[in-house]
Amino acid sequence: MKKMNINKIKAFKSKEKISMITAYDALMAKLFDDLVDIILVGDSLNMSFGGDDDTLGISLEEMIYHTKAVCKGVKSALVVCDMPFGSYIDKDIALKNATKIYQQTKADAIKLEGGLEKADIIKELCKNSIAVMGHIGLKPQFVRAEGGYKVKGKSEEEIKKLIKDAKALEEAGVFCIVLEGVKAEATKTITQSVSVPVIGIGSGKDCDGQVLVWSDMLGFFDEFKPKFVKRYLDGAKLVRDSVKEYVKEVKEGKFPSEEYWY
Ligand code: KIV
CATH number at residue 195: 3.20.20.60
- Which pairing describes strands 132-137 and 78-82: parallel, antiparallel, or unpaired? unpaired
Instruction: Provide the pLDDT for residue 231.
Output: 96
Instruction: Provide the pLDDT for residue 223.
Output: 79
Instruction: Provide the pLDDT for residue 228.
Output: 96
Distances in whole angstroms, Cα of residue 4 to Cα of each of 126, 127, 157, 186, 189: 19, 22, 37, 29, 28
Does residue 42's CB lie within 6 angstroms of at least one atom of ligand 1? yes
Residues 157, 170: one domain? yes
Residues 139, 239: one domain? no
Instruction: Provide the pLDDT for residue 137.
Output: 98
Atom of ligand 1 nearest to the CA of 213: 3
What's the pTM?
0.97
Domain holding 255, by residue range, is 235-262
Residues 259, 215: one domain? no
Q: From atom 4 of ligand 1, which residue's Cα is the shortest distance away?
A: 42
Residues 111, 25: one domain? yes
Q: From atom 8 of ligand 1, which residue's Cα is the shortest distance away?
A: 42
3-class DSSP state for residue 80? Answer: strand
Residues 177, 258: one domain? no
3-class DSSP state for residue 148? Answer: coil
Instruction: Provide the pLDDT for residue 180.
Output: 98
In a domain? residue 1 = no
Q: From atom 5 of ligand 1, which residue's Cα is the shortest distance away?
A: 42
Residues 11, 31: one domain? yes
Cα separation, 241 vs 116, whole angstroms: 48
What is the distance in A from the centroid of ligand 1 to the CA of 120?
Answer: 22
Residues 193, 262: one domain? no
Instruction: Provide the pLDDT for residue 225.
Output: 86
Instruction: Provide the pLDDT for residue 54.
Output: 96
Task: Return the sign of the alpha-carbon dihedral for residues 159, 160, 161, 167.
Answer: positive
Q: Which residues pair with 54 in a beta bridge?
A: none
pLDDT, averaged per 10 consecutive residues of the chain (262 residues), comes to 96 96 98 98 95 96 98 98 98 98 98 98 98 98 96 97 98 98 98 98 98 97 88 97 98 98 97
Cα separation, 173 vs 235, whole angstroms: 39
Residues 105, 226: one domain? yes
Residues 225, 244: one domain? no
Residues 257, 144: one domain? no
